[in-house]
Structures are given as structure tokens and as C-alpha cells.
Amino acid sequence: MKSGKNSLYDDLKRQILTMELEPDEDLDEVTLSERYGLSRTPVRDVFRRLAGDGYIEIRENRGARVSPMNHSTLRHFFQVAPMIYAAIGRLAVQNFKPKQLVDLKQTQTLFRTASEATDPVTMVLENNRFHEIMGEMSGNVYLQPSLNRLLIDHARIAGTQFRPRTEEMWARMRLSVDQHDGFIAAIEAHDEDAVVDLVFEHWELSRDRMEMYITPKGLKADALVDGPVAVSMEKSS
């Protein structure tokens, strides 16, 4: 059974990754203390842990808030993400342990099951965990924190790809799931080049969806011409 502190940590992490808590949203220490039956001190301990992991920011005399996503952070994200993912993939092949490969396969099973059930929340979380495990496989104390910080924003801005509305989006989602199987096979075969190739294919698939989320198609300039205002003007003339 999880303690109140662990439950609070896990719940806030999940809510941030799935955008239930939005970027920049303030966290109410008092409300969370009451909801989880905790005093203010353990809640602050959880906040510090989440801040250290990159999920939230603690501002002096202003409390805690969910880590923001703005032009600067997104620019940095797109600049370095493929480089870090590729380095993690190569090191994962070199350093993985058998137990980690078992964990990766189990997580992939959960990810595929969630995709078949069209469960976007579970897909976001299991996808995030899949890539976290690859980071753990790398065994690199410098790259892992960078990867984990990237994965937070990757989950937040890529979650829409797990909510398919068209056949094209369904096809992309199925391809994403299949690429995870490819990662497992390539790591198991100790094939660094295959893993790196998959990293870039997987990144391009995600990047397309993220860019569509960040820069959606604009409304037509004349979208409201035939709307209520136009009709009202016609009646008065």
C-alpha cells in the first residue's frame, strides 16, 4: 500500500504528464494537504522532489506551479531532443541489463493493450515509462536527467497523437506501437545502428504530431461572415 506522500507524488506526476494539470498552473498546498491527509511538511517534500525531477517549479513566496511550456522551452526541446534520444538509444544497447529488458517488454505490452482499447491516458503514461526505461538502460548519470526532463514536455505536447480522430492518425498510432517492438528487438540483438535509425523514425513521427498541436490550422478569415452578426446586420438594413 502506497503512503500518502507516494500517492501524492504519483498522482501529481500523472496529472502533469496527461495535462490534467496544465503548464503554469498553481498547486494549492493547503488543498492537497487536506485531500491526502498530510501535514504541510510532507507536501512540501513532495513538491521538492517533483521540482528536482522537472515537473514543477517552486517560487520563493509564491508557492509551486507546474513547469511552464513557452517559446523558449519548446525551442530548446526541438533543438536537442533527437540528439539526446539517439545517444540514449546507443548507450541502452551497450549497457542494458536483462531485468531492464523484461521491464521494457512488460511496459510495451501495457502500451499496446492501451492502444487497442483506445485509452489515451494509459498510453501517455506507458509510452513515457517505456522511454524512461531506455534511459535507465543507458546507465548514464548525465544523460538520464536530460532525457527525463524532455519526456515531461514530450508527453504533454504529444498526447494528442494518442487520441486518433482520422484513419491517418490511427495509422500513425499503430506505427508508433510497432516501432516500440522494433526498439525491443534491436536492443535484444545488440544492434546499435538499428536502434538509432528507429530513434529518428520515431522522433519524426512524434514531431509531426507535436508541430500540428503547437501550430494548428488557423480559422478562415471569413469564418463568421455568415454567422449571427452578419444575419443581424442584414435584418437591420
* Structural domains of the chain in order of their starting residue, each with its CATH number: 4-66 (1.10.10.10), 71-214 (1.20.120.530)
pLDDT given at position 66: 96
In a 13 Å sphere around the CA of 171, the CA atoms on its Cβ side amount to 3
Q: Cell digits for 35?
A: 485531500
For 114-131, b where at least 16 C-beta lie within 10 A, e where not — what string? bbeeeebbbbbbbbbbbb
pLDDT for 164? 60
- pLDDT of 37: 92
Those residues of the chain that have pLDDT short of 50 are 230-231, 233
pLDDT the model gives residue 160: 60
At residue 106's C-alpha, the angle toward residues 105 and 107, to 5°, is 90
* pLDDT in the model for residue 71: 84
Q: Residue 207: its pLDDT value, please?
A: 77
Can you give the pLDDT at residue 174? 87
Alpha-helical regions (H) of the chain: 4-17, 29-36, 40-53, 71-95, 98-116, 120-138, 143-158, 167-188, 192-214, 228-236
What pLDDT, on a 0 to 100 scale, did the predictor assign at position 39? 93
- Tell me what pLDDT residue 89 has: 97
Cβ burial of 164 (10 Å; 0-12, 13-18, 19+) is middle
